[in-house]
Amino acid sequence: MKGVILAGGTGSRLLPLTRYTNKHLLPVGRYPMICYPIERLKQAGISQIMVVTSRNYIGQVIELLGSGAEWGIKFTYQVQEEAGGIAAALLLAEEFAAGERLTVILGDNLFEADLRPYLEKFLQQPSGMKILLKEVDDPQGYGIAELQDGKVIGIEEKPQFPKSRLCVTGIYFYDSQVFSIIKQLKPSGRGELEITDVNRAYLQQGNLTHEILDGWWIDAGTFHSLELAHQYTKNLTLNLW
């Protein structure tokens, strides 16, 4: 199993902080934001990690993380030349994946839970993908899963009338067919390849499973959620330092 952290994007919701740096390098608690998903991957036993970020900030990311040798991690880096959506960023990891399964985390997703139990359940699947869901108070702002008889039957992106409060977190487990699925996607109305469309493709195959994520979870992409992230992480010590 290999890991991918997607740390691109413009960070427009965090302007003017993101005028000078990538949002994933902003301080959260005692560490840069990107260190939290790295810690969770390492905790789950994943030591080969690709970080995908934009050309403007790849130098800063490499300066922070280096080779990863001091932490027992091997980092690989990839540049996303232009904003094309989360799925387009993930496609850049195809050669890195080399046919193996992947744990993919959006770099602004901070969470309490240990990933290993979810990863082990995913590895028991013969194929497909697994998403992790979390109940939220404002479901209109997320991709929302509709469940029936304990199974996901639909995913809506930022629905006006949500069918549940269970959002699709930015933590995904994929088999190797994810790349062929991405290559078949068409850009959405905003001109991007959407990760929701990737997940829907697995759902249509009947090859998507889910788990409810334990503990707290934050998408730290706004000033409000960044403040919450500080509160949750202020006393945390990571094993990376």
Task: Please spell the DSSP secondary structure of 50-116, one letter per residue.
Answer: EEEEEGGGHHHHHHHHTTSGGGT-EEEEEEE-S---HHHHHHTTHHHHTT--EEEEETTEEE-S-SH
The separation between CA 151 and the C-alpha centre of its own chain, rounded to angstroms, equals 22
Separation CA 54–CA 101 (nearest Å) = 24
Tell me if 89 is assigned to some domain: yes
Residue with structure tokens 């991405």? 182
Model confidence at 14, pLDDT cuts 50, 70, 90, reads confident
Tell me if 240 is assigned to some domain: no
Pure H helices in 84-222: 86-91, 94-97, 116-123, 178-183, 195-205
Q: Taking 80 as the threshold, does the pLDDT of residue 156 lie above it?
A: yes
Q: Taking 80 as the threshold, does the pLDDT of residue 11 lie above it?
A: no
Tell me if 238 is assigned to some domain: no
Tell me the pLDDT of the chain averaged across its residues.
94
**Parallel, antiparallel or unpaired: strands 102-106 and 143-148:** unpaired
Model confidence at 40, pLDDT cuts 50, 70, 90, reads very high
Angle (nearest 5°) at CA 20 between 16 and 25: 100
Q: Taking 80 as the threshold, does the pLDDT of residue 240 lie above it?
A: no
Separation CA 94–CA 176 (nearest Å) = 8
Tell me if 139 is assigned to some domain: yes
State the pLDDT at residue 174: 98
Tell me if 239 is assigned to some domain: no
Rounded mean pLDDT, 118-147: 96
Residues above pLDDT 70, as percent of the chain: 100
Question: Do 38 and 4 meet the contact criterion of CB atoms below 8 Å apart?
Answer: no
Taking only the tens place, the pLDDT of each residue in 42-87 is 999 999 999 999 998 999 999 999 999 999 999 999 999 887 899 9
State the pLDDT at residue 237: 87
Rounded mean pLDDT, 122-143: 95
Question: Do 6 and 89 meet the contact criterion of CB atoms below 8 Å apart?
Answer: yes
Q: Taking 90 as the threshold, does the pLDDT of residue 12 lie above it?
A: no
Long-range contacts, stretch 146-153, CB < 8 angstroms, 24+ apart: 147/210, 151/210, 152/203, 152/208, 152/209, 152/210, 153/203
Element (H, E) at 29: none
Q: Which domain holds residue 87?
A: 2-233
Question: Do 53 and 79 meet the contact criterion of CB atoms below 8 Å apart?
Answer: yes
CA distances from 175 to 62, 142, 181, 206, 224 (A): 27, 24, 11, 14, 34
Residue 150's CATH number: 3.90.550.10
Residue 62: beta bridge partners? none
State the pLDDT at residue 221: 87
Tell me if 94 is assigned to some domain: yes
Separation CA 219–CA 105 (nearest Å) = 11
Rounded mean pLDDT, 105-132: 97
As for how many domains the chain has, the answer is 1
Separation CA 168–CA 232 (nearest Å) = 20
Tell me if 241 is assigned to some domain: no
State the pLDDT at residue 143: 93
State the pLDDT at residue 4: 98
Tell me if 176 is assigned to some domain: yes
Element (H, E) at 4: strand 2-6
Model confidence at 232, pLDDT cuts 50, 70, 90, reads very high
Question: Do 99 and 176 meet the contact criterion of CB atoms below 8 Å apart?
Answer: yes
Taking only the tens place, the pLDDT of each residue in 173-223 is 999 999 999 999 999 888 889 999 999 999 999 999 999 999 999 999 899
